[in-house]
Chains A and B, each alone.
Chain A
């Protein structure tokens, strides 16, 4: 018989009284069920009382034995008895720990199992469902035992090493936070869970094997034992955290050229930059986001995808996005910016609640934050509040446009519209620091309150009810007839474009609602408006087929709005996403090349004038 078993056997023999007491307690639920008040609920009384008693005894013993195993012998100076025997520290620890856990689990089982077998169905109803009670109890008991032992060992020693433990714990938590946060923000929740579960298992492992070091290096000295235990536990956890940190650092440090699944591409109305988000080869579900220059192909990594909002400024000089302030305390968002021409990202210090939204001025120097009932204009470079005004409906959809550097128009349409959709327009004068309502319109219908604005803010399209309103007064301009469109928008010059949901057709209306063109969209079962190009070109993304069998096939269509014809169809590429953040489509310059994705998730530039595709060469 080896040392571990000899010591375990000795400990179990010493715990005989505990088993006797547990056996006596096991009778109590059955005695209680004989009481007159238990009549009619006999099974419930047995199961509930047995459950409470077994849990209390099992967990109580786990904690008590965790505290006293080794610790009590150290304080009573009796541990040298074992060290004067030919047994290893591992045998002493595992013999004692094993016996303590077996004692706790057996005591639990002695009380719980008779009540379980009396009525398994009632037990499952009240306790643990279909889980095996003894297995669950054994896991919880073991965890409690090892944790109690660790805490008891570091507290009993009254050593200054306790300060080290506290610092190490704080560092571990901070490290875990640092490791998990980018994963959670990057949509790699499953990877974060795996890392947390693995760390939990490693914590458990460290608490199980750490005491071997405690005994091997501290032996009968409580302070030295504490130091050895702490060093072992924190070294294991520190090493594991470093590994996890290294893995996460690798995971989030992928290159744009590694992207194998592009989630979206976004492009400003000026310049050669574009943003791409997606998952990289071998990097799980972590979503990487890159700001790329389509000419050079060099990329800069952004820390967070635009889950919470983000976009380019109209002139394409600044990209901004919102990022949560915390991970577990997810109560606010902070606005980050990065200059497109080069440089690092900057936390602006401008914060808002998760319901808030942000809109940049066309040159990217100012931002309007609409949060709750308040609209505020900030200078982005300094974070200084320039003006603010209240009175907005916090339940409404808001679309904001800078009419000039010092004048902001805010259009709102409450989300809880029933029979009537209300549209209100406000203007915030930054110089005068005043906000005034400039108009309100009420329209029958309530099929969604998503808004679209023309480039100069003079026209509003209430998309769900196909109503064109004046941009300043919200007064009715026109109501469009026909079925509710699948996609609709006011174009930059006020022209209204809608796409019918079935057998998609593009219908174009003048800024006053007069029908202009009705254009069938070839080779498309579904379509949505993607963007527009100056000089009257509209980009439509078409699709046919469905994901899965046969696959989904995208196409990009360029429409000449003035002539009302499909000018070009580019097959097998997905057009850039529309920029609903600003309530309007992206408006590209005539000489801009569009960034598109093909079926193989490869990025191309498309010259809309010639239809020529050129693969984007990514250098990073």
Chain B
């Protein structure tokens, strides 16, 4: 049995002449949290639609829990929870009816867990789905997904439009399940601050291409913001690769992508002073997608 919960192999999606996803390959080990980042229109939702078996890729293949998701979608959904970008349950359905329906469809459905989460979220089970706020819809979607006791959960921008409290409670639910059952999480999000604390691995999509796919810890270790007195050429002499560099007073400011202690030593041999600052995931993302330029 594979120890990968999710894989994409050379997945390509085109809408007419437009390339939405361009040869993306990635894999997510069981029990890990994978954060898929990217600007709007980068191809995250298309990739997730492929991973959920909603969209057949023009090229490549996606698997969930070791099985081809396009062919075995119905069976795989028994073991996979989904929180879509737009919560999509029928608006006229009452939440208890949603629970009833799910209880008939999922063999491992836990009605108690569903009811408890609704209570925690302070949502009345007699309410109709269409009457809920955007945040409540996301919470209900998460409650439905988790009550089915999935082995894997895919969340497409689950915190979009949520306030801080709702965001926090949503992540807490996911984290609790991860801790309790070893749930694998694949999340596409713009909420870099929140995900930074739970993601094991990060992928960044840019114009449909996966430009970065790495352990978060490794990523954060190798990305540094460096400021030093000297010309930008000094960085190359110190064997440092940069995403960008720009003048900083009489010196240079740059983001290095292959930082380590040896590189710092090499730099300090050439520059009188060198300030090295660790970067947050958000800063790394900005640097990678090219929003922070020289």
Interface residues of chain A, those whose CB is within 8 Å of chain B, are 1, 3, 6, 10, 13-14, 77-81, 83-88, 91, 217, 219-221, 224
Contact = CB atoms under 8 A, between A and B. Distances in A.
Interface stretch (B25-33, B50-58, B59-67, B203-211): B50-58
Given A217-B56, A220-B54, A84 B101 contact: no
A85 B105 contact: yes
A14 B92 contact: yes
A77 B55 CA distance: 13
B97 A13 contact: yes
B90 interface: yes
B105 A221 contact: no
A291 B73 CA distance: 63
A98 to B, nearest CB: 16
A77 B86 contact: yes
Nearest to B77: A86
Which 4 pairs across A and B sit closest by C-beta, in order of nearness?
A86-B78, A84-B82, A86-B77, A81-B88
Contacts of B192: none
B74 A84 contact: no
B46 to A, nearest CB: 11
Contacts of B73: 83
5 contacts: A10-B101, A78-B90, A79-B88, A80-B49, A86-B105
Interface in B80-110: 82, 84, 86, 88-90, 92-93, 97, 101-102, 104-106
- Of B74, B76, B93, B101, chain A has the most CB atoms within 10 Å of the CB of B74
Interface in B112-133: none
A87 B74 contact: yes
Nearest to B102: A85
Contacts of A78: 88-90
B17 interface: no
Given A87-B74, A221-B55, 4 more contacts: A6-B105, A83-B53, A84-B52, A220-B49
Contacts of A217: 56
Given A10-B97, A13-B97, A83 B52 contact: yes
Given A219-B55, A221-B55, A84 B49 contact: no
Nearest to A11: B90
Interface centre among B52, B78, B105 (most CB of A within 10 A): B105
Contact of A87 (B86, B88, B93, B105): B105
A88 to B, nearest CB: 5
Contacts of B55: 219-221
B272 interface: no
Q: Which of A14, A83, A87, A221 has the most CB of B within 10 A?
A: A83
B93 A84 contact: no
Contacts, number: 64
Among A1, A78, A84, chain B packs the most CB atoms within 10 A around the CB of A84
Q: Which of A1, A80, A86 gathers the greatest number of chain B CB atoms within 10 Å?
A: A86
Contacts of A221: 54-55
| Residue among A79, A81, A88 with max Cβ neighbours from chain B (10 Å) | A81
A3 B77 contact: no
Contacts of A81: 84, 88-90
B77 A10 contact: no
Nearest to A7: B101
Contacts of B76: 86
Contacts of B97: 10, 13
B54 A88 contact: no
Contacts of A14: 90, 92-93
A316 B13 CA distance: 72
B84 A219 contact: no
A224 B49 CA distance: 14
B75 interface: yes
B88 A80 contact: yes
B56 A224 contact: yes
A91 to B, nearest CB: 8
A13 B128 CA distance: 13
Nearest to A6: B104
Given A3-B105, A6-B101, A78-B88, A85 B77 contact: yes
A10 B75 CA distance: 21
A80 B90 contact: no
A84 to B, nearest CB: 4
Contacts of B89: 78, 81
Nearest to A10: B101
Contacts of A13: 97
Contacts of B90: 10, 14, 78, 81
Nearest to B94: A13
Contacts of A85: 77, 102, 105
A174 to B, nearest CB: 32
A1 B103 CA distance: 10
